[in-house]
Amino acid sequence: MWFSHCTKVISIMPIRLFFLLSLLLFAFHSAVAAPSYQAGFQYRHMPDGTEIGIWYPTTSTPVHQHLGIYEQDVAPEAPSLGRHLPLVVISHGNGGGFSGHLDTATALAQAGFVVASLTHPGDNWRDNSHAIHVEERPKALSRLITYMLTVWPAHTIIDPSRIGAFGFSSGGFTVLATASGQPDFSRVTEHCRQYPDYYDCQLIKRHPGPLPNWTDSRDPRIKAIVVAAPALGYTFGRDGLRDVTLPVQLWRADNDHILPAPLYADAVSADLPHKPEFHEVRNAGHFDFLAPCTASISICQSAPDFDRVAFHRIFNADIVTFFMRMLH
């Protein structure tokens, strides 16, 4: 079992009933997650220069493609299929890029979603100059939604009433903010006094300056969110998350040494007004939410007892299932 919340249910359920339910759930899960299409792919720039990747359903034959440190099987520039399709936008973590969750994007496209992921200006692997200006991130994500609904040549295939967002780490903070979360950055000073070696505090130390001047960043077009290992989770509190009433799927890596429990994902889970669909991933580290990669750098390395490829089959299928349910 990947997720500890399953253990108690199994222990009290009669074995025969559990076996029958397992078969039914497996059949349902397989039917929902099984690819219906191939994934088309486009690499674009928005009018302001922001780099984006777009995945969408197609029947064209995919090819194997290298995209930086990642690989994917997609049909580049293939014609799109479908009508009234849901859109999912993706926000990466600090120092990342649009390609960091390309396997999740591909799985969603194969299930009939349009997916768009941006490289956040000033907070990416090339340019980290605005890394602490997290107030810029939700606005960039909203601009991506607007681009996909109005400028992207195939925008008429998207249903503007069916929009979801996925975010990892700083991207998790980003989608919580676009979903009406209101952080309180006055909490950061005390947090960093207590935990000066934590990643967020070290990042602030490397980029000295005033804390973000927060303005309302909610985007009512977003109807459901998936959040993995959210940065700055402790800055929200109950008051800051009281308006986040849309469906939330929340993920925590149990061996996250970048954003360790309980101040990030756990704090968000405790403070949301409605209980999220919460997944605790045993033996996973922070970067295991990124797509599998083989480069000899830290974000591609997993613990010896953790199979990132196997985990992502479950992770992606659960994200597809969640968005199919919530963006119906």
CB 62 within 8 A of CB 38: yes
Two tokens, residue 306? 């953790």
Q: What share of the chain is helix, strand, coil (3-state, %, to 5)?
A: 40, 20, 40
Of 162, 179, 159, the residue nearest 171 (C-alpha) = 179
Cα distance between residue 116 and residue 180, in whole Å:
21
Greater confidence, 197 or 17?
Answer: 197
Q: In what order do the strands lie in the sheet with 222-228?
A: 63-67, 70-76, 38-45, 51-58, 114-118, 85-91, 158-168, 222-228, 248-253, 277-281
Nearby residues of 304 by Cβ (< 8 Å), 6 or more positions away: none
Among 12-16, 66-70, 171-175, 289-293, the range scoring the smallest mean pLDDT is 12-16
C-alpha dihedral sign at 91, 97, 98, 101: negative
Q: What is the dihedral of CA 217, 220, 223, 224, to 10 degrees?
A: 10
Cα distance between residue 248 and residue 179, in whole Å:
10
| Domains of the chain listed by start with CATH number | 37-326 (3.40.50.1820)
- Give 102's Cβ-side CA count (13 Å radius): 27
- The average confidence (pLDDT) of the chain is 91
Cα distance between residue 43 and residue 121, in whole Å:
16
For position 210, what pLDDT does the model report?
84
Residue 128 — φ and ψ, nearest 5°? -110, 20
- Does 62 have pLDDT greater than 60? yes
For position 35, what pLDDT does the model report?
55
Q: Cβ of 298: how many Cβ atoms within 10 Å?
A: 10
For position 9, what pLDDT does the model report?
33
- Does 119 have pLDDT greater than 50? yes
The beta strand positions in 22-157, using DSSP E, are 38-45, 51-58, 63-67, 70-76, 85-91, 114-118
Instruction: Give tens-digit pLDDT for 5-51.
Output: 333 332 333 434 433 444 444 444 444 444 579 999 999 999 999 99
In single-letter form, the type of residue at position 299 comes to I
Q: Report the pLDDT averaged over residues 102-109.
A: 98
Q: How far is CA 190 from CA 23, 84, 260, 272, in A?
A: 50, 47, 17, 22
Paired with 85 in beta bridges are 158
Instruction: Give tens-digit pLDDT for 243-299.
Output: 999 999 999 999 999 999 999 999 999 999 999 999 999 999 999 999 999 999 999
CB 132 within 8 A of CB 202: no
Q: Report the pLDDT averaged over residues 307-319.
A: 98
pTM score of the predicted model:
0.89
Two tokens, residue 143? 């601009």
For position 209, what pLDDT does the model report?
82
Of 261, 287, 177, 183, the residue nearest 225 (C-alpha) = 177
Instruction: Give tens-digit pLDDT for 125-144.
Output: 999 999 999 999 999 999 99
Confidence of residue 211 (pLDDT cuts 50, 70, 90): confident
CB 244 within 8 A of CB 272: yes
For position 162, what pLDDT does the model report?
98
CB 167 within 8 A of CB 91: yes
- Does 222 have pLDDT greater than 90? yes
- Does 2 have pLDDT greater than 70? no
